[in-house]
Chain A
Amino acid sequence: MTRLTPSAKGIALHVGVVLALLALNFLLPEYHRGVFARVLVLAVFAMGYNLAFGYTGLLSLGHAMFFAAGLYGAGLTIYHLEWSVWPAFAAGLAAGAGLALVVGFLALRTTGVAFMIVTLMFAQVFYLTTLYFTTYTRGEEGLVLPQAARVLGFPGGTLNLSDPSTRYLVALALFTLVLGVILFVVRAPFGRSLIAIRENDERMRMLGYNVFANKLASVVLSGIVCAASGAAYAVLFGYVGSGFAAIQYSILPLLWVLVGGAATTLGPLIGTLFMFYVIDTASSYTTAHLLVVGLVLIGVILFFPKGIAGTVRERWLPWLP
């Protein structure tokens, strides 16, 4: 029997995960299918964060602004300008890319703790901006996008994104696309150079790499992926609110990535799914669910110090990308 190369094993695993997620659309009860659709979209957010934090070593506390840029880019254009889904989604991506370029250009002049503070401050400015322009954003109350506007047109037909099955499949399509892009990027020379920069950027400078340009490219790509998640959230779930720009949404992707495994391709999905269900299950039994969540996280850190996928890779499956 022919043995699979590590690279082929990695690709086979990812194809298997996507097929399993596809099968779940037909197997899961309605409630859990809704949860999974949300998890798939937010896992894309975590995958974007993972690119900056896990692969490049940039500990940002402001990624909520990139998610919210996509969310508002798509949401405001649909709500106020009556754009259809495709151009609104593109507006979300453009908003995320533009914001990431500007914030990255300024914030990457700092490192370490200063970088964390600067990104946090930029995100707070974004959050307060959404509250300031309440006339357009309706602040915390947010905007509910009309169902009639959440229709995805394509040659030969339309898809109603309010339909649970369609919503799940579109979320899965986005997840699969981003997973493929991330897998390609981290296996490409660019991805290797990001990992090397994470290990030691001065060494990379000594070897002739423009570290700033590489980090900026990583932040912009990360911002685009997070914005894609935000824009998808707006069109799939029909709600756009300031809460998504708050600091909580900068901390959550960090938590999801740490739990799932930083610098692993499947870690963000595992972490997001794990945290959703831990909170969901614990809160159905006790009002002190955050205590339970805290204890579970301590357990995860004890037994999976590099996150779930990271520790599995270290101990059992070294080929795991």
Chain B
Amino acid sequence: MRAALTMEGVDSFYGHVQVLRGFDLELKAGEVLCLLGRNGAGKTTALKTIMGLVPATAGRILLGDADLTKLAPHEVPTAGVAYVPQGRRLFSELSVGENLEIGLMTRNKGRDTRDSVLDLFPILRERLKQRSGTLSGGEQQMLAMARALCLEPQVLLLDEPTEGLMPSMIARIRETVAALRARGVSTILVEQRVDAVLPVADRVAFIENGRNRETVDVDRLRADPEMVHRYVGVG
């Protein structure tokens, strides 16, 4: 299967502290790849490095054949990568509709894109004029994802989308990720909880000390739960 996004030997730093060390990753087209690892392992930094928010000091990050490390951070979403950061990060003073509009404008998308995105999140269609800061946590997460999808990205990066949500909302988010896979969107999903990952991921990459230790199919993970113990410390 063709790679949608590839990281080859990527290093990145926060100040003088090195976080990613020769980080390798391959996201196949149309798959959901989950990054698992302990706190501080480098999962979120890997996403931020892809987005250019943390500069890659070595290695390459390829979106198809395009080298993202040569782009300014604001050019990465235009190239086709959308990022939903941890904690939703909406523009709380703007309405739901205006938040979506901000996403649509990035790549000059129009009403068709908006309608297609709202089909995935029907609840948002009823709340277009509501201020986004007044939405519930689950609805805010949906809006953050919807706003990212307004870019019609080839690659979607989701950082702990189920954090702090009630089980019914977690199930909705999982369904949405599965629906996106059916639409051909390749997704990198950062999660702490294995149970949130298994039903939706195709493969899992175990991140430790800024390196991708091993990438395995979900079926193999189900067959060998000890693997999770080894890298994450929980089962």
Interface set of A (CB-CB < 8 Å, partner B) = 189, 192-193, 195-196, 199-200, 202-211
> With A189-B101, A192-B101 given, is the CB distance from A207 to B93 under 8 Å?
no
- Interchain residue pairs with CB less than 8 A apart (6): A195-B94, A202-B53, A205-B53, A206-B73, A208-B75, A210-B74
- Nearest residue (CB) in B for A190 is B105
A208 engages B151 (CB within 8 Å):
yes
A135-B7 Cα distance, complex, nearest whole Å: 64
A196 in contact with B102 (CB, 8 Å): yes
Q: Which are the 8 A-B pairs with shortest beta-carbon distances?
A: A208-B77, A208-B106, A196-B91, A208-B78, A199-B91, A210-B74, A205-B74, A203-B89
With A205-B73, A208-B77 given, is the CB distance from A200 to B102 under 8 Å?
no
B interface, CB within 8 angstroms of A: 51, 53, 72-78, 82-83, 85, 89, 91-94, 98, 101-103, 105-107, 147-148, 151
Q: B103, A206: Cβ atoms under 8 Å?
A: no
How far is the CB of A10 from the nearest CB of chain B, in Å?
14
B74: A residues at CB distance < 8 A: 205, 208-211
Which residues from A are CB-within-8-Å of B72? Answer: 210
Question: Among the listed A193, A199, A203, A211, which residue makes an inter-chain contact with B105, where contact means beta carbons less than 8 Å apart?
Answer: A193
Question: Chain A contacts of B107 at CB under 8 A?
Answer: 208
Q: Which residues in B have their C-beta under 8 angstroms from that of A206?
A: 51, 53, 73, 77, 83, 85, 89
Known contacts A192-B94, A199-B91, A205-B53, then 18 further A-B pairs from the complex at CB < 8 Å, ordered by chain A residue: A192-B98, A192-B101, A193-B102, A195-B93, A196-B94, A200-B91, A202-B53, A203-B89, A203-B91, A206-B51, A206-B83, A207-B82, A207-B103, A207-B148, A208-B74, A208-B77, A208-B107, A210-B72
Flag if A192 contacts B77 (CB, 8 Å).
no
With a cutoff of 8 Å between Cβ atoms, the chain A residues found around residue B147 in the complex are 207
How long is the Cα–Cα vector from A210 to B75 in the complex, in angstroms? 8
Q: What distance in Å separates the Cβ of B180 from its nearest Cβ neighbour in chain A?
A: 18
Q: A189 with B91: in contact, given A205-B73, A206-B51, A206-B77 (CB under 8 Å)?
A: no
A195 to B99, CA, bound (A): 11
Pick the contact of B77: A189, A193, A207, A211 (CB < 8 A): A207
